[in-house]
């Protein structure tokens, strides 16, 4: 099987869906979430759910897998956001 430019771009874009995990890691490390926009991740989660439902409806495995990854990553940010949103930072 020959891998072309389109396949490389699609694989890269799927891997980029994991970017919110870096934000979740930062929140956990700093133990505070004051610099995180809650609504950004709520919107990412909402849009991801819509695309997932569409992918299921048209039976598109790439859409389903990509959006499950997106939902997992954005949900992880929301979970740690609510865990650390009231925490005070020890950084001066």
Mean pLDDT over each residue of the chain, to the nearest integer: 84
Domains of the chain, by residue range, sit at 5-84
Q: Residue 28 above 50 pLDDT?
A: yes
Q: How far is CA 22 from CA 17, 55, 57, 67, 77, in A?
A: 11, 26, 31, 17, 9
Please state which of the four CATH numbers 3.80.30.20, 3.40.50.2020, 1.20.1280.290, 1.10.510.10 is assigned to the domain occupying 5-84. 1.20.1280.290
Total Cβ atoms within 10 A of residue 41: 20
pLDDT value at residue 92? 46
Q: What is the average per-residue pLDDT within 21-44?
A: 90
């Amino acid at each position: 099987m020959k891998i072309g430019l389109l396949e490389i771009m699609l694989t890269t874009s799927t891997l980029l869906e994991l970017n919110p995990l870096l934000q979740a890691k930062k929140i956990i490390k700093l133990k505070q979430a004051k610099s995180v926009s809650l609504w950004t991740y709520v919107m990412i989660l909402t849009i991801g759910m819509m695309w997932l439902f569409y992918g299921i409806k048209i039976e598109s495995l790439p859409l389903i897998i990509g959006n499950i990854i997106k939902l997992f990553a954005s949900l992880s940010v929301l979970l740690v956001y609510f865990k650390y949103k009231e925490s005070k930072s020890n950084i001066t």
